[in-house]
Amino acid sequence: MIFIYRLLPLLSAVFVAFSFWLQLQYPFQYPWIALVGVAVLFISAFLMSQGRVKLSDLMEKMLPTFIFLATLVFSLLLSESAVGRWIIICLGTIATYLSLELLFLLAFAPPKYPVHGLSRVNIAYVPIILFYAAATSVGLMTFIHTPIWIHITLMAVLGLVLFRTTGHPEATREQNNRWMLIGLILGLHLGFMGAVLPLSMYAQGAIAMLLFCGLLRMRRYLYHPLPKKAQAWVEGVAAVVLLIAILTTTRWL
């Protein structure tokens, strides 16, 4: 039986890639074909965790991956170029394999599991989630005039959930609750910003990604071991430079 579990990360990743590709071949069936791939990820994670990982721990560790795949499915709506579509397929495939592989190690081979492996991978998913979610949602407002409240609600929910599921392992429950509130408020601000700034959808996605991840990174400086002060300056200056570059080089609508 463990042999089947060992193959699940690879088989699930291949299935996700196929479901995304098949969805592009049958666009009028959107989003049901691609969502089958997300369901396979959930089923595989649930099977591997049975009796080995608590359900609450499983949801906290795997929820960002589910959100990641769901965001990629969402982004298929406005992905027009072949390169952009293949990037989405590759991202979904890699994320599925990597998260399930780490979950397998956590469940079946704990000594080989990297310290905070899934937590670190989940944080790496956040910039991509924010970029695709914000860009696609703004694009829908621009092209088919979806209600503004949908975009604001989406960003607020993402802010709340992502700040909770990427919390520092040493954070207390009270600290996590405060950061959830901060994430909710930040998401609301990003939602309103996306609704009023006359920028392209990709510029909106990049700005939302930078602002959200900047605050998320600042949270890391509250816990030991603290990153070096020079590193903080480099990261802060780089973020400001990128933000200014986006605002000054992108075409305002």
Task: Inform me whether the pLDDT recorded for 247 exceeds 70.
Answer: yes
| Residue 1 confidence (pLDDT) | 73
- Within 10 A of 85 (CB to CB), how many other CB atoms are there? 17
Chain position carrying tokens 């990297």: 114
| Residue 136 confidence (pLDDT) | 96
Please, which pLDDT band fits residue 253 given cuts at 50, 70 and 90? low
Tell me how far apart the alpha carbons of residues 208 and 170 are, in angstroms, rounded to a whole number. 27
**pLDDT (mean) for 37-59:** 91
Domain boundaries in the chain? 1-113, 130-253
Tell me how far apart the alpha carbons of residues 34 and 25 are, in angstroms, rounded to a whole number. 11
At 77-136, the pLDDT tens digits run 998 899 999 999 999 999 999 999 999 999 999 999 998 899 899 999 999 999 999 999
At 1-35, the pLDDT tens digits run 787 889 999 999 999 999 999 999 999 999 999 99
Please, which pLDDT band fits residue 51 given cuts at 50, 70 and 90? confident
Structure tokens at 179: 């950061």
Tell me how far apart the alpha carbons of residues 105 and 150 are, in angstroms, rounded to a whole number. 38
Is residue 31 classed exposed, middle or buried when 0-12, 13-18 and 19+ CB atoms within 10 A define those classes? middle
At 139-198, the pLDDT tens digits run 999 899 999 999 999 999 999 999 988 877 777 788 888 889 999 999 999 999 998 988
Chain position carrying tokens 């991509």: 128
| Residue 139 confidence (pLDDT) | 93
DSSP string, 113-158: SPTTHHHHHHHHHHHHHHHHHHHHHHHHHHHT---HHHHHHHHHHH
